[in-house]
Amino acid sequence: MLIIAKPTTVSRRHLVTTDRSELSKSGPEKSLLIPGFVKRQGRGFKGHITVRHRGGGMKKKIRIIDWKRSKLDVPGVVMTIEYDPLRSANIALINYIDGDKKYILAPEGMVVGSKVLAAVKTEPLPGNAMELRNIPIGVPIHNLEIRKGKGAQLVRGAGNSALIQAKDDVYVTVLLPSKEQRLIKADCFATIGQLGNSDWKNRKLGKAGRKRWMGIRPTTRGTAMHPNNHPHGGGEGRSGAGLKYQKTKWGKIAAPGKKTRDVHKTKKLIVKDRRSK
C-alpha cells in the first residue's frame, strides 16, 4: 500500500512511500549479518573511483539471504517479515525445526506463522521451493536458478514473478518478467509465489536529499563537459549529443536500440526475445 504524505513542506508535497506498518519492529537477526562491512563508495582496491556517482548515504547492514534454499526437507516457520535496506523486496526470517535460522525473500501471501519447506517436490504454496520440473504450469515463481546449486539469480525484485509455460525431460520454458521466454534446466530450483512489496515501483522520493541518503551522488551531463572528458562534450553553445552518436564516457555506443548482450552465451536458450512483438 502507498502512503501519500501531507504537503507540510515543499519536499513532502510529492512524497509517496510504501507502507511498512505490518513489518517487524525488531532489529535484524545478528547471526545473519555480515560483520565488519565497510562501504566502498565506488572506489576500487587502489582507492580510485571505479563506479561513478557513489558515496555518502546511511549506514546499512548486509543481511545474508539463503539464495540456494539449502535446508532440504526441513520444515520452517516464518518468525518475522522485515525491511531490507539493500533490496526492493521484503525479507522473511525462517526458523527451522533443527534450530537453524535463514533469511529468504518474502512473497505475497506470506505472514508471520506461515510454514515453508524446500524439497525436490512439495506443495505449491507461497515460500515453498522445489525443482522446476515439479512446479505446475501457470504457477507464479521467483528466486529462479540458472544453474543447479548456484543459487537464485533471476526474478528477485519487488513485485516480480515468472511463469512456467512448458516442460520436457531436460528443459522448462519460463516466461520472465521482461517477457522473454527462456529455457532453464528442469532440475534447477525456484520458489513459489509472486514477490511482495509490489508498490515499490510507484513510490516517489520527493526530494534530491533522499537520493543522497541512498548513497547516490549527482550526475553531470556529458554535454556539459569539456571534450577531453566526454564524447558529448564541447561544441558551440548548447549542442546535444544526437541520438545517433550517443556514447558513454569511455566511447562505447549507448544509442537507443544498441544491443549489448553477449548472444553467444544464451542464444540457444532463448525461445522468444523480450523485444519481439
Quick: pLDDT tens for 205-262: 999 999 999 999 999 999 999 999 999 999 898 888 887 789 999 999 888 888 877 8
- What whole-number distance in Å separates Cα of residue 74 and Cα of residue 55? 42
Say yes or no: 237 and 115 in one domain.
no
User: Can you give the residue range of the structural domain that contains 243?
Assistant: 229-270
And the C-alpha cell for 100? 537453524
Q: How far is CA 149 from the centre of its chain?
A: 19
pTM: 0.89
Say yes or no: 238 and 188 in one domain.
no
Say yes or no: 8 and 115 in one domain.
yes
- Which CATH number covers residue 82? 2.40.50.140
Say yes or no: 50 and 181 in one domain.
yes
What's the whole-number average pLDDT of the chain? 93
Structure-model confidence comparison of residues 123 and 261, the more confident one: 123
Say yes or no: 195 and 264 in one domain.
no
Say yes or no: 188 and 254 in one domain.
no
The distance between the two most distant Cα atoms of the chain, rounded to a whole number of Å, is 70
- The total number of structural domains in the chain stands at 2
Calculate ∠ Cα 83-204-92, nearest 5°.
15
Say yes or no: 185 and 234 in one domain.
no
Say yes or no: 133 and 261 in one domain.
no
Query: pLDDT per residue over 6-19, tens digit each?
Result: 999 999 999 999 99
Q: Is 105 exposed, middle or buried (0-12, 13-18, 19+ CB in 10 A)?
A: buried
Mean pLDDT of 48-56: 95
Say yes or no: 184 and 234 in one domain.
no
